[in-house]
């Protein structure tokens, strides 16, 4: 990676999201407010009300004005705000849902990324547990990310704009939960996008471009998080680039003469209106030559990627119903349609009581097995060392991710492990290893919304349960703990060995640990696990990615190790180093 650093106007990187939200509330106090204990649920001042379906949108920060910018009367009732390029956690999403629950159900809308799917699905489960009927709609507009026959695998980019607007209008018009969900899915089916990037963006924590691109190059099909696109080529003229983007969209979207569309020409953060209008000029020419009518056009920054240079084109194929939803008045910080909606006389939102079951364990320590060299205090030290090692290697892990992903893996893991460290340092010294794992799971999940949040939360929970009958860990129990980590990730993530993910490190680690358990020495077991993970990391270099954001790279992912696998090895090696010392 390059040693070039970027510049950002910020205070502390770790405070950038709450301070951004605070500034937004100060700017628009009559439109949005903040609710919930996590400080990540931005809620409409006027909009949520009894009997109305609640609309909760969300995703990672860095895409401003998406997502919180679309909160307000007539559009979204709330947004769950994640860290930069990372999904909000289930707790953030649940708080947003609780803040807008009018008793008619809630629709959750987000881009189709692994982390968002995992976190929003978990939030929907938690909502159901407290009596909120939550439906999920994952936006899948990016034609560059998967072929038409696998459209359900596509990621959501600027097409969020149209899907969110339609769902928000349907809810504001008083439609039922089923009808609002159906309207959102209809918009989703009729929306297609394509983008191109001319430069990289950078994370606030690293200030380093998250991928390298030549001064005369562009990436066709670039994702919103800096994920590499379909191919890299030389920079071409505005018309040529627009022709290529429109060609992919129109190859799939059946538009006969007389058809109507909505057009969104979206800037990715560092591309001026001059260039965006050039693109729109060509879009209008192409559609006009086909006899397609442009019902309305939006040009500007609606869904960005930090300071990335580039643009995307989105078309939505319209009928009378979709036009009615898009024309429905709304008032948000980023979008106003029509005149400001009048307050509804007598409208109110009843504060509801939600019953949540306590998860107290009531552990009987006297019934736990005490043989084994690894005590709860030693295990806690091992976990703290793992977190310190992740913090040490944060930039390296992010650089690995920048090559085949969005460049935030090290940052995200560091945020999660920092939360784990704070939770463990505040925990009672009497905690068992299982209780330590449970606290680590909750801390990681609450702090990290990316895919690693639910995956590692599931891993810690599963690993803790695998040794729930023990106070200390012997060789066999150490093997069971490593195996539990693998099982937890498998149960939540859906990846398999060979997909080029963290599984490709945790699986050989668990296998090696199981084979070494006969030694009777916990150090031997953990050493075998760490070595298995190291070999697994190296094996990912020759794999073609089949999961996550790097999946669409295909053969371009070969030759690079997977960052999730690399971080798994960092964790196990750090735990081993403590045990040896």
- CB-based contact 522:551 (threshold 8 Å): no
Other Cβ atoms within 10 Å of 468 Cβ, number: 17
Q: What's the rounded Cα separation, in Å, for the pair 415 and 547?
A: 23
E strand or H helix at 34, and its extent? strand 32-35
Catalytic residue of the set 92, 225, 328, 507:
225
Q: Which two structure tokens, joined as six digits, stand for 86?
A: 């990372």
Q: Using H for helix, E for strand and C for coil, what is the string for 197-239?
A: ECCCCECCCCCCECCCCCCCEEEECCCCCCCCCCEEEECCCHH
Cα four-point dihedral sign 534, 539, 542, 547: negative
Give the orientation angle of helix 563-580 with respect to helix 522-540, to 10 degrees.
Answer: 160
Residue 128 phi, psi dihedral angles, 5° rounding: -60, -35
507 a catalytic residue: no
How far is the CA of 88 from the CAs of 21, 137, 143, 338, 340, in angstroms? Answer: 14, 16, 25, 31, 29
Residues recorded for the chain: 581
- Report strand pairing: 134-139 vs 106-111: parallel
Q: Which two structure tokens, joined as six digits, stand for 140?
A: 């899948």
**12, HSE (Cβ side, Cα atoms, 13 Å):** 3
Other Cβ atoms within 10 Å of 319 Cβ, number: 11
Q: What's the rounded Cα separation, in Å, for the pair 435 and 200?
A: 42
Q: What's the rounded Cα separation, in Å, for the pair 124 and 219?
A: 35
Which residues are tagged catalytic?
Answer: 225
């Amino acid at each position: 990676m390059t040693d070039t650093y970027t510049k950002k106007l910020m205070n502390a990187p770790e405070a950038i999201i709450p301070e951004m939200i605070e500034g937004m509330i100060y700017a628009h106090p009559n439109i949005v407010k903040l609710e919930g204990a996590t400080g990540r649920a931005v809620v409409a001042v006027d909009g949520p009300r009894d009997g109305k379906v609640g609309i909760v949108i969300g995703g990672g920060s860095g895409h401003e004005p998406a997502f919180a910018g679309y909160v307000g009367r007539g559009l979204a009732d709330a947004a769950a705000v994640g860290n930069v390029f990372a999904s909000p956690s289930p707790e953030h999403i649940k708080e947003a849902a609780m803040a807008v629950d009018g008793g008619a159900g809630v629709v959750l809308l987000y881009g189709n990324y692994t982390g968002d799917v995992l976190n929003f699905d978990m939030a929907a489960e938690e909502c159901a547990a407290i009596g909120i009927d939550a439906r999920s709609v994952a936006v899948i507009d990016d034609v560059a990310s998967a072929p038409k026959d696998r459209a359900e695998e596509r990621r959501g980019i600027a097409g969020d704009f149209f899907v969110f607007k339609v769902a928000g209008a349907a809810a504001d018009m008083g439609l039922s939960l089923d009808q609002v969900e159906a309207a959102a899915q209809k918009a989703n089916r009729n929306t297609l996008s394509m983008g191109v990037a001319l430069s990289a963006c950078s994370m606030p924590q690293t200030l380093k471009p998250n991928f390298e691109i030549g001064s005369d190059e562009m990436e066709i099909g670039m994702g919103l998080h800096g994920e590499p696109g379909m191919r890299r080529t030389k920079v071409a003229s505005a018309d040529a680039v627009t022709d290529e983007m429109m060609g992919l969209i129109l190859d799939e979207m059946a538009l006969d003469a007389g058809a109507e569309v909505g057009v969104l020409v979206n800037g990715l953060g560092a591309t001026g209106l001059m260039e965006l209008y050039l693109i729109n000029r060509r879009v209008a020419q192409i559609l006009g030559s086909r006899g397609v009518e442009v019902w309305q056009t939006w040009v500007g920054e609606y869904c960005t990627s930090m300071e990335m240079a580039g643009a995307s084109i989105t078309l939505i194929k319209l009928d009378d119903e979709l036009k009615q939803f898009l024309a429905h008045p709304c008032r948000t910080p980023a979008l106003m349609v029509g005149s400001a909606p009048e307050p509804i006389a007598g409208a109110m939102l009843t504060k509801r009581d939600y019953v949540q079951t306590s998860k107290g364990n009531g552990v009987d320590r006297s019934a736990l097995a005490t043989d084994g060299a690894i005590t709860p205090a030693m295990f806690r030290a091992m976990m703290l060392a793992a977190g310190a090692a992740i913090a040490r290697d944060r930039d390296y892990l992010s650089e690995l991710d920048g090559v085949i992903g969005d460049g935030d893996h090290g940052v995200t893991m560091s945020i999660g492990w920092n939360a784990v460290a704070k939770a463990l340092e505040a925990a009672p010294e009497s905690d068992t290893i299982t209780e330590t794992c449970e606290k680590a799971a909750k801390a990681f999940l609450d702090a990290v919304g990316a895919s690693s949040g639910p995956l590692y939360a599931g891993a810690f929970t599963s690993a803790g349960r695998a040794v729930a009958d023990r106070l200390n860990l012997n060789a066999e129990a150490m093997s069971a703990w490593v195996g539990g980590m693998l099982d937890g990730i498998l149960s939540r993530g859906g990846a398999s060995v060979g997909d080029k993910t963290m599984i490709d490190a945790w699986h050989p680690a668990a296998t090696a640990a199981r084979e070494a358990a006969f030694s009777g020495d916990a150090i031997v077991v953990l050493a075998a696990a760490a070595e298995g993970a190291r070999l697994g990391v190296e094996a990912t270099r020759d794999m073609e990615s089949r999961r996550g954001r790097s999946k669409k790279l295909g053969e371009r992912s070969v030759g690079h190790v997977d960052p999730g696998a690399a971080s798994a090895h960092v964790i196990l090696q750090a735990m081993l180093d403590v045990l040896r010392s």
